[in-house]
Amino acid sequence: MKTGQKEVAASGLACDIFIGRQPILDRAGKLYAYELLFRQGHHNDATVSDDLAATATVLSHVINELGVEAALGPYLGFVNFDARMLVSDAIEMLPRRKFVLEVLETVEITDEILARCRELKRLGFTLAMDDFTRLGKEHGTLIDLVDIVKIDIMGMDEATLADAVASLKPWPVRLLAEKVDSNEQARLCRQLGFELFQGYYFARPTIIAGRKLSQSQLTLLRLLDLSLKNAEIGELEAVFKTEPGLAVNLLRLTNSAASGVRHRISSLRHAITVLGRSQLQRWLQLMLYSGDQNGGIPNPLMQLAATRGRFMELVAAELTDISDNLADHAFMTGIMSLMPALLQAPMAEILGSLPLLPEVRRALESRNGTLGALLSLAESIEANDETTCFELTAAMAGVDSGIVNRAQAVALAWVASIDRA
């Protein structure tokens, strides 16, 4: 069994189903929740024709196979429910303080549905109304019961969106803007009173001319550059000494990782040796995304970058024609792919400052080569683009939808563990 295969296989997810997560952020840009998305892997069809089967499958995998904590970490989980699932007793197996039940826009608001929603509220569940666009007679009684209203802003102009928000003013509901694709849209929604935001707008690079990197970012990039060049330990040690906080974090990390060692690691030189160059590079990349004490970068960007890197690493390990260190290079490619959003600088400028391998550079610049295909696969999963996802998977020797599913599950669990740490 190849490197990484045991770990991927251990998640046990069925080959034709996997779970995606889309982040939901609060007004401060911090993670609030994830929507759990259903994807079907045994044919190229992005349509979920049976909402009951889709939701039941997602919940089964989250609870029984992946584990709620592994899938969501410390955050809430939003899940879609059609009429049949709402009245099903299966809902009541969910942790009531962990899940938000989204009532799909296709649900006919009958007396039975209203009675069931009242019961679910009594049991302690949070309810959300999905895909709201305008107030209709069918919404009146349900809005009295829901806590969150999700407004799909795609295709709405500012006036239409403002009218939709105004129509909900009589109710004490929280507004969630869905399909937010840019920081401009997020700013507009904040002005209109939205509290929650769903989408990957935070990962869109905003290039600011003349922007200067913080001292901690410059130090981390310098250390990453030296590590990639296989610089002497003394050179790395000298740079660490200029950033006492970073040096303390390195010592804390290595002492935690080397808990079985008899003697405490007390020198930077010893810490760098124990950690190793590969792990040092990974740690430096993640530290870049963690931000500094003066605000830093929102946590969602780090989670997305770490998920990409880990997912690509796991899939790379399963490829039939794997080359030396391909998995390590795949991890780096995934992490580096979001550097423009992190540093608010063009990719070409970032690549010019680091001695990356040509294949990593080609993947980041033009999605070429094996690493480029792996990066495109990760991006297609994030975008919920099943057609592209399955086309890319079919072209990879030794990889099928089951491997992709399990790699995604393991990556999500790994990133959740980082967040807890």
pLDDT in tens, 287-337: 888 765 434 445 789 989 999 999 999 999 999 877 778 999 999 999 999
- For the ranges 17-31, 219-233, 264-278, 359-373, the maximum mean pLDDT occurs at 359-373
pLDDT at 1: 44
Of the chain, the percentage scoring pLDDT greater than 70 comes to 83
pLDDT band at 45 (very low <50, low <70, confident <90, very high): very low
Q: Give the least confident one: 96-100, 192-196, 334-338, 349-353.
A: 349-353
pLDDT in tens, 86-140: 888 878 888 888 999 999 888 888 899 999 999 999 999 999 999 888 777 666 6
Q: What is the mean pLDDT of the chain?
A: 83
pLDDT at 319: 92
pLDDT at 43: 45
pLDDT at 387: 80
pTM: 0.83
- For the ranges 12-21, 100-109, 173-182, the maximum mean pLDDT occurs at 173-182
- For the ranges 52-56, 187-191, 220-224, the maximum mean pLDDT occurs at 187-191
Q: Are 325 and 371 in contact (CB under 8 A)?
A: no
pLDDT in tens, 197-250: 998 888 888 776 666 777 888 889 999 999 999 899 999 999 999 888 888 888
* Residue 44 in this model has a pLDDT that exceeds 50: no
Domain ranges in the chain? 5-203, 215-293
The domain made up of 5-203 is a member of CATH 3.20.20.450: yes
Pull the structure tokens for residue 306.
């770490």
pLDDT band at 85 (very low <50, low <70, confident <90, very high): confident
- For the ranges 32-46, 106-120, 383-397, the maximum mean pLDDT occurs at 106-120
* Residue 6 in this model has a pLDDT that exceeds 90: no
pLDDT at 388: 86
pLDDT at 54: 67
pLDDT at 165: 95
pLDDT at 162: 95
pLDDT at 42: 47
Q: Give the least confident one: 58-67, 150-159, 372-381.
A: 58-67
